[in-house]
Amino acid sequence: MLVFETAAAAAAYMEPIDVRNGEYLVVFDSEGRKLGIEVGFESRPGMVGLLARRIEVVRLVPLDDRPDEAELASLLRSFLADVDGRHELAAEASLAELIRRTADVALTR
């Protein structure tokens, strides 16, 4: 499981080839909304602002305005139980606490 501070940080981390190869199964924001993963192109200035070049970029786009907190919480509980063994925390924790704990564990692995 990967955890990022922002959607922009997650998109910057993802490689377009990995997205095309299906390396990322699902992406959620911190409120439980699913985000779609797209590969597109952007123009970037070349050397000294001369020739613009097109590069592939990953974009995360909202799929639904309604959060699915239950699905995200279930994924986080499962992850925490597998890597941390703290079933009691996972069973009682709010979504915010699950996200915080997951970030703590995922960032130290």
Task: Indicate the domain borders of the chain.
Answer: 1-64, 68-109
Residue-wise pLDDT for 64-73, tens only, equals 889 999 999 9
Q: Is the pLDDT of residue 109 over 60?
A: no
Q: Model-level pTM?
A: 0.80
DSSP one-letter code for 21 = T
Cβ pair 58, 37 in contact under 8 A: yes
Residue-wise pLDDT for 20-34, tens only, equals 999 999 999 999 999
Tell which phi-psi region holds residue 51, choosing left (phi > 0), alpha (psi between -120 and 50) or beta: beta
Cβ pair 33, 70 in contact under 8 A: no
